[in-house]
């Protein structure tokens, strides 16, 4: 049996929300394998749903910048929130975000900012601020006919959640379309979807969820003939958790996001979105 460290147990507890002893048992039962231990806790009904899974990330901040045709969200990581909400860090993050909007998100580290590469610029920040600074996740949307919008949630004087969204099949000049796009961006920040539609969910993710729900149903002792219907209900619940267009709208839970977007017209749809939250993967 694998040795389980207190550090591993604490990390599993942070990710799943399960108790310390349950996390230790999960690791022991699965020879210290972290991913299998997460699944084991869910099968036993101990851990939270899939959407709670994440990782402990460094501190930092996110910035969002949207023009008519281009939008970007950029994450800059550091070691403490004190540095993350500082003026120097904020100016650097804003400059990096503008660079991504203007010059693209390919090989960002090699692009030039203030006469040096982004990689060297970020290293220089580490020296200036006295902490390890790293460029985190970078997303950029460019469109010729879609409607772009973004949202930045500010907490403790820094951006902690950044969202980009693109709608297709709408009039970019329509005020109502812009309102809906922004409402959906706020929804994404709050609800944390991972995919736009069911078709985007990888087959291996679907198979893993089915295996977990089947194990849960067996553990619950339900009649075997009822298992298929129960498991299908659980899968539908999973999709409503992770698929954007199937989620209940946070401002009106009687509507789905799909129905909110379709209120703009039959061709209206979500082309894509990006969401970055400090502390989550």
Residue ranges of alpha helices (H) inside 30-163 are 34-43, 81-84, 87-103, 118-129
Looking at residue 3, what is its pLDDT? 76
pLDDT in tens, 174-213: 999 999 999 999 999 999 999 999 999 999 999 999 898 8
Highest CATH level, class, for 1-48:
mainly alpha
pLDDT of residue 18: 78
Q: Judge contact between 59 and 278, C-beta under 8 A.
A: yes
Task: Summarize pLDDT for 23-80 with one digit per residue, the tens.
Answer: 888 888 888 888 888 888 888 777 653 443 433 336 999 999 999 899 999 999 998 9
- Say which range, 5-19, 153-167, 263-277, has the weakest mean pLDDT: 5-19
State the pLDDT confidence band at 1, using cuts at 50, 70 and 90.
low
Query: 59-196+249-277: CATH homologous superfamily?
Result: Elongation factor Ts, dimerisation domain (3.30.479.20)
pLDDT tens, residue by residue, 88-134 = 999 999 999 999 999 999 999 999 998 999 999 998 998 889 888 99
Q: What is the pTM of this model?
A: 0.79
For 209-221, write each residue's pLDDT tens digit: 989 888 888 888 8
Q: 64 φ, ψ to 5°? A: -130, 135
- Greater confidence (104 vs 4) lies with 104
273 vs 2, 22, 117, 205, 245, CA distance in Å? 41, 36, 28, 19, 11
Residues β-bridged to residue 147:
167
Q: Where are the domains of the chain?
A: 1-48, 59-196+249-277
């Amino acid at each position: 049996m694998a040795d389980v460290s207190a550090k591993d147990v604490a990390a599993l507890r942070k990710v799943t929300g399960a108790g310390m002893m349950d996390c230790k048992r999960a690791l022991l039962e699965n020879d210290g394998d972290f991913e299998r231990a997460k699944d084991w806790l869910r099968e036993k009904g101990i851990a939270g749903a899939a959407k709670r899974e994440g990782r402990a990330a460094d501190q930092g901040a996110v910035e969002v910048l949207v023009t008519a045709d281009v939008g970007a969200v950029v994450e800059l990581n550091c070691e403490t929130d004190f540095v993350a909400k500082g003026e120097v860090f904020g100016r650097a993050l804003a400059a990096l975000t503008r660079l991504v909007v203007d010059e693209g998100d390919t090989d960002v580290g090699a692009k030039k900012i203030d006469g040096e590469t982004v990689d060297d610029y970020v290293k220089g920040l580490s020296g200036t601020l006295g902490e390890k600074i790293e460029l985190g996740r970078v997303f950029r949307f460019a469109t010729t006919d879609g409607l772009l919008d973004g949202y930045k949630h500010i907490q403790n004087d820094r951006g902690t959640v950044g969202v980009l969204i693109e709608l297709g099949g709408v009039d970019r000049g329509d005020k109502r379309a812009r309102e809906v796009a922004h409402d959906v961006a706020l929804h994404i920040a709050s609800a944390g979807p991972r995919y736009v539609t069911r078709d985007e969910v990888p087959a291996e993710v679907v198979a893993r969820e089915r295996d977990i729900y089947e194990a849960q149903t067996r553990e619950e002792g339900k009649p075997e003939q009822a298992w298929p219907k129960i498991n299908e209900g659980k899968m539908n619940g999973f999709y409503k958790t992770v698929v954007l267009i199937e989620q209940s709208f946070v401002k009106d839970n009687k509507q789905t996001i799909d129905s909110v977007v379709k209120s703009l017209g039959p061709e209206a749809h979500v082309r894509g979105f990006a969401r970055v939250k400090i502390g989550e993967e």
